[in-house]
Chain A
Amino acid sequence: MAQEKIGVYVCHCGTNIAGKVDVEEVTRWAAEQPNVAVARNYKYMCSDPGQDLIKQDIKEHGITRAVVAACSPTMHEPTFRKAAADGGLNPYLLQMANIREHCSWVTVDGEAATAKAKRILGAQIHRLPLNEPLDPIEVPVNPNVMVVGGGIAGIEAALKLAQAGKKVYLVERDPSIGGHMAMFDKTFPTLDCAACILTPKMSAAGKEPHIEMLAYSEVTEVEGYVGNFKVKVRKKARYVDIDTCTGCGLCTEACVVRKVPNEFDRGLSKRAAAYIPFPQAVPLRATIDPTRCLTLTGKKCKQPCLTACGPGAIDFDQKDEEIEVEVGAIIVATGFELWDPTPEKRYSYGKLDNVLSSLEFERISNASGPTGGHILCKNGEPPKAVAILHCVGSRDENYQEFCSRVCCMYSLKFAHLIKEHLPECEVYECYIDMRTYGKGYEEFYKRLMNEDVHFIRGRAAEVTDVGLSPTEEGRLVVKVEDTLLGITRRLPVDMVILSSGLAPRSDAKETAQTFGFGCSANGFYLERHPKLEPVSTVTDGIFIAGCCQYPKDIPDTVAQAGAAAAGALALVDNPTVNVEPTISYIDPEKCSGCHICVGLCPHAAIQYNEEKGVAEVITAACKGCGVCVAACASGVPQQRGYLDEQIFAEIEGALAV
């Protein structure tokens, strides 16, 4: 091996590294290491002058390898590899030594941190002479995009991509797109009617020729890699031919099963087994509920729906259908679930009448809801007093520790709507802190304070129906400590609204696994970087948007959807994309043809060549996990960038100090 000239660059990262690690000492030490030609330190290596140091040294000192001891490679490896390339060095001849996340930030003692930094850096200095120049592998990009989830995030992303001329597959699990926003009555703080602003977008998505709507469908399998995903989608049987159905609703009227809890009204109304979820549904097509339809559950039925349906769209023999779609990028926007308040037993949800979840109240206040928009108790009377309890299940270590960000605002919206419908009704907001952080939000809060709403600072202790006085008898009583007055209060009310937090979907973990990314500790999808890549995931080409990433309001959701669409577009608008060249190869001279690696490869990227009697790596299919390398008894498969000898050298370097 020719003598290599290594350049070492130790970053101070302001005081992030230099505050703990003695960067001068590390630099001095590095200069003495074998093959090191230049060792420098600099305040911010990622700045332009910092990067220029590398480029200059390549030109002036002829360095042939470089290592930057700085932050995590996840952060700045692309930055420095590009700098190396700009300076004329193959980017894969530059390594990073992570002495920030893995060293200065996690170590208490400065001396120990300095020693550890040397070991981390030493590993890279040792491996560098063995690095080989590599060229990225260029692969074609499928220009189509899949958007999973047809709520406002998915609709927005799909429309943006369609506007850019991309073919979009919009997959929605329910019979109609629209998501949670379609259930809302008004939106805060502007009090726009949710339907008025959402339905045009839904209908645009339905009509947009570039969007192929796959409603009542679910993704079952995702294969492939950036620019080249193969997605299996199960189109659930609607038992209605979607092309023939006109959405007239006659089957719904004819259906004899009439008492199915209507999901769209959160069970507050009933629907038929043949149903259209709501009047503005897109696609406006009927669906027959296979769990309730008499015919489909093997019971006797005269099937009046068949007679009622003019075009003859009903087809009881329809089966689920699996299709495979090829796309270059995927946006996952699967939304949230309202946190179910049942476990919070002291609020008696599901036990006492007129204790409602926030989504139930959305439906009650909605003109298309079960009460026609009249705010009524179960007995049909308007409430004389309503309590709105904040932070149900939220900011609570028993349930969800986080703040769901939208509940304070929707609670204020509820108070306003109640006051608007029933000016004489007393409204109490029991809150821990009011969090009104968005544009126009604090102003809305102030407005509500002038609308005679009672604000009580205190998390409600209990909802009970045990009345202790004539004003309490036969009503609900909310017990709450008013922490501003320092007294406990009993609020006799007729309706209690539980402002539940937003929860990750109960199958979020499985969904994340299907798409190949992870979940955060709180269960929402994990973004690639919380600040700078909030809509990317660890899997290149797969993006996330909306409340599946974390609770957020509609403006933020729409903004994120746009960002995800832009991310996907930036990928699929190119004919090709570069993928990491760190894949495996097999030397046919050494391979004995034992087959072990063939069966172990998770991506079926190794095939056995009968003619030559050896295993061969299919370059385009290999993802670079290295399982074959570790499995081969003879060490024949090797992984570029992670050769055994390179890893050995790292181990030696790490333990040499």
Chain B
Amino acid sequence: MRYLYYPGCSAESTGMAYDISTRALMEKLGVELVELDDWNCCGATSYFSVRELDSFAIAARNLAIAQQQGDEDLCVICNACYTTLAKTNRYMADSPHVREQVQGALKAVGRRYDGTKPVRHIMDVLVNDVGLEAISEKVARRLTGIKVAPYYGCQYSRPIGSFDDTEDPQTMDRFFEALGADVLTDFPAKLKCCGGMMMLTNATGAVRLCHEILKSAEDLGADVIVAACPLCEMNLEGYQPNVNKAYGTHFHIPVMYFTQLAGLALGIDPKQLAIDKQVVSCAPVLAAIPA
């Protein structure tokens, strides 16, 4: 099993642990990831509101490279990158205008793209290609008794929803059940926005959104929140002090990339999963995993 791999910019900075743990996890599962040559920022979702066509062109450049580099599907780890790249494909298919403009822009930099490179979320790859049964067989330390709040984030399944229910995604629930965890399947905040980039421009608003998610997880007695997006992970983990200050709460909930927790279940060394890079200590989670 082999995929082209698009890490996304965050993977080189705040989301480094996501990239590191992804590579470790996939290696363990025998999945080869070939990093995309000379990839660029996907433009992220907010740029669409400013200059839509440029956003498509920026995203399409990555897809053009992917098409040239190999026949494998393009695997993406960040929800925002996933949405942006998949959206570009969809618009290129649906709108002759967008297709024409984007292809014109690519031509200017000597590239071509027909709009058909399959873009796959890493969870899609894990659940539908690798398969839950195969993953379950490789579990070294079952996550028995660990209460996992699966936090999908707003762009995991929306608006595309190509591999899961748009409004009620379930794949992450099934994934951690396969690892033996006590999944909080009715986690009501699983699709709530974390505030995203708003943390920089309107911190009050973003902190309010994080508060609701954290509270929801705490009410259910979550031991750990797992995320599938670097921005979500950063907001939920790194801004707990800000939430506590604003709302008089005392949150200190471990937040991990789902690949980190999954890696632990597969017996990968915590160091290889960059667990030490987490802001809120994951020691209680590590201690709770049965040997």
Interface, chain A (partner B; CB < 8 A): 344-346, 351, 464-466, 468
Are B168 and A345 touching (Cβ within 8 A)?
A: yes
Residues of A within 8 A of B212 (CB): 466, 468
Are A466 and B215 touching (Cβ within 8 A)?
A: yes
Residue of B nearest to A348 (CB): B188
Query: Interface code B267-291, partner A: CB below 8 Å = 1, 0 otherwise?
Result: 0000000000000000000000000
Residues of A within 8 A of B188 (CB): 464-466
Residues of B within 8 A of A466 (CB): 188-189, 212, 215-216, 219
Residues of B within 8 A of A468 (CB): 211-212, 215
Residue of A nearest to B167 (CB): A345
Distance A465 CA – B186 CA, assembled complex (angstroms): 11
Residues of A within 8 A of B189 (CB): 466
Residue of A nearest to B216 (CB): A466
Distance A346 CA – B154 CA, assembled complex (angstroms): 13
Known: A466-B216, A468-B212. A351 touches B168 (CB 8 A): no
Residue of A nearest to B189 (CB): A466
Distance A345 CA – B219 CA, assembled complex (angstroms): 20
Q: How far is the CB of B58 from chain A (nearest CB, A)?
A: 29
Query: Interface code B178-198, partner A: CB below 8 Å = 1, 0 otherwise?
Result: 000000001011000000000
Q: Which B191-245 residues have C-beta < 8 A from chain A?
A: 211-212, 215-216, 219
Q: How far is the CB of A340 from chain B (nearest CB, A)?
A: 15
Residue of A nearest to B213 (CB): A466
Distance A346 CA – B186 CA, assembled complex (angstroms): 12
Query: Interface code B11-46, partner A: CB below 8 Å = 1, 0 otherwise?
Result: 000000000000000000000000000000000000
Residues of B within 8 A of A464 (CB): 188
Q: How far is the CB of B257 from chain A (nearest CB, A)?
A: 24
Q: How far is the CB of A156 from chain B (nearest CB, A)?
A: 40
Distance A464 CA – B219 CA, assembled complex (angstroms): 13
Interface centre among A345, A346, A464, A466 (most CB of B within 10 A): A466
Residue of A nearest to B186 (CB): A351
Residue of A nearest to B166 (CB): A398
Distance A611 CA – B216 CA, assembled complex (angstroms): 86
Q: List 12 A-B contacts (CB under 8 A).
A: A344-B167, A345-B167, A345-B168, A346-B167, A465-B188, A466-B188, A466-B212, A466-B216, A466-B219, A468-B211, A468-B212, A468-B215
Residue of A nearest to B217 (CB): A466
Residues of A within 8 A of B215 (CB): 466, 468
Residue of A nearest to B247 (CB): A468
Interface, chain B (partner A; CB < 8 A): 167-168, 186, 188-189, 211-212, 215-216, 219
Distance A464 CA – B213 CA, assembled complex (angstroms): 12
Residues of A within 8 A of B211 (CB): 468
Residue of B nearest to A346 (CB): B167
Q: How far is the CB of A318 from chain B (nearest CB, A)?
A: 44
Residues of B within 8 A of A345 (CB): 167-168
Q: Majority SS of interface residues in chain A?
A: loop
Q: How far is the CB of B134 from chain A (nearest CB, A)?
A: 30
Residues of A within 8 A of B167 (CB): 344-346
Distance A613 CA – B164 CA, assembled complex (angstroms): 65
Distance A464 CA – B189 CA, assembled complex (angstroms): 9
Distance A466 CA – B219 CA, assembled complex (angstroms): 8
Distance A330 CA – B186 CA, assembled complex (angstroms): 50
Distance A345 CA – B167 CA, assembled complex (angstroms): 7
Distance A465 CA – B220 CA, assembled complex (angstroms): 12
Residues of B within 8 A of A351 (CB): 186
Residues of A within 8 A of B219 (CB): 466
Distance A351 CA – B215 CA, assembled complex (angstroms): 19
Kindly list 10 other residue pairs between chains A and B, CB separation below 8 angstroms, not including A466-B216, A468-B211. A344-B167, A346-B167, A351-B186, A464-B188, A465-B188, A466-B188, A466-B189, A466-B212, A466-B215, A468-B212
Q: How far is the CB of A343 from chain B (nearest CB, A)?
A: 8
Q: How far is the CB of A469 from chain B (nearest CB, A)?
A: 10
Q: How far is the CB of A317 from chain B (nearest CB, A)?
A: 47
Residues of B within 8 A of A346 (CB): 167
Distance A346 CA – B189 CA, assembled complex (angstroms): 11
Residues of B within 8 A of A465 (CB): 188
Q: How far is the CB of A412 from chain B (nearest CB, A)?
A: 29
Residues of B within 8 A of A344 (CB): 167
Q: How far is the CB of A351 from chain B (nearest CB, A)?
A: 7
Q: How far is the CB of B15 from chain A (nearest CB, A)?
A: 27
Distance A464 CA – B216 CA, assembled complex (angstroms): 10
Q: How far is the CB of B225 from chain A (nearest CB, A)?
A: 14
Residues of A within 8 A of B168 (CB): 345
Q: How far is the CB of A11 from chain B (nearest CB, A)?
A: 38
Q: How far is the CB of A77 from chain B (nearest CB, A)?
A: 41
Q: How far is the CB of A560 from chain B (nearest CB, A)?
A: 36
Distance A465 CA – B219 CA, assembled complex (angstroms): 11
Distance A468 CA – B243 CA, assembled complex (angstroms): 13
Residues of A within 8 A of B216 (CB): 466
Task: In the A-B complex, list the 4 residue pairs whose CB atoms are closest, starting with the nearest.
Answer: A466-B216, A345-B168, A345-B167, A466-B188
Distance A346 CA – B169 CA, assembled complex (angstroms): 12
Distance A439 CA – B63 CA, assembled complex (angstroms): 59
Residue of B nearest to A463 (CB): B188
Distance A345 CA – B170 CA, assembled complex (angstroms): 13
Distance A466 CA – B192 CA, assembled complex (angstroms): 12
Q: How far is the CB of A480 from chain B (nearest CB, A)?
A: 15
Distance A622 CA – B213 CA, assembled complex (angstroms): 69
Distance A465 CA – B212 CA, assembled complex (angstroms): 11
Residue of A nearest to B187 (CB): A466
Distance A465 CA – B216 CA, assembled complex (angstroms): 9
Residue of B nearest to A351 (CB): B186
Q: How far is the CB of B243 from chain A (nearest CB, A)?
A: 11
Distance A468 CA – B212 CA, assembled complex (angstroms): 7
Distance A465 CA – B211 CA, assembled complex (angstroms): 15
Distance A345 CA – B189 CA, assembled complex (angstroms): 13
Distance A346 CA – B192 CA, assembled complex (angstroms): 11
Distance A351 CA – B186 CA, assembled complex (angstroms): 9
Q: How far is the CB of B210 from chain A (nearest CB, A)?
A: 12
Q: How far is the CB of A130 from chain B (nearest CB, A)?
A: 46
Q: How far is the CB of B245 from chain A (nearest CB, A)?
A: 16
Q: How far is the CB of A471 from chain B (nearest CB, A)?
A: 15
Distance A50 CA – B188 CA, assembled complex (angstroms): 68
Distance A43 CA – B167 CA, assembled complex (angstroms): 55
Residue of A nearest to B191 (CB): A346
Q: How far is the CB of A396 from chain B (nearest CB, A)?
A: 12
Distance A351 CA – B189 CA, assembled complex (angstroms): 14
Distance A135 CA – B219 CA, assembled complex (angstroms): 81
Residue of B nearest to A465 (CB): B188
Distance A272 CA – B219 CA, assembled complex (angstroms): 40
Distance A346 CA – B212 CA, assembled complex (angstroms): 15
